[in-house]
Amino acid sequence: MKKSFLSLILAATIISSPDLVAGQTPQQEAVTQQRAVEAEIRSLMSRFDAAIRAQDSKGLAALFYDGKINWKATGHPKSREFVAQATKEAIPALEDQGAHQLIGDPAYKALRLAENFGSPTIVSDGQLATVTFRYNFTANDQIQNWGSESWQLVKADDGWKIVNLLFSYTLSAVAPMPDGHLK
Model confidence over 59-104: pLDDT tens digits? 999 999 999 999 999 999 999 999 999 999 999 999 998 888 888 8
User: Which helix or strand (DSSP H or E) is residue 53 part of?
Assistant: helix 26-53
Domains of the chain, CATH where assigned: 45-183 (3.10.450.50)
Model confidence over 123-176: pLDDT tens digits? 999 999 999 999 999 999 999 999 999 999 999 999 999 999 999 999 999 999
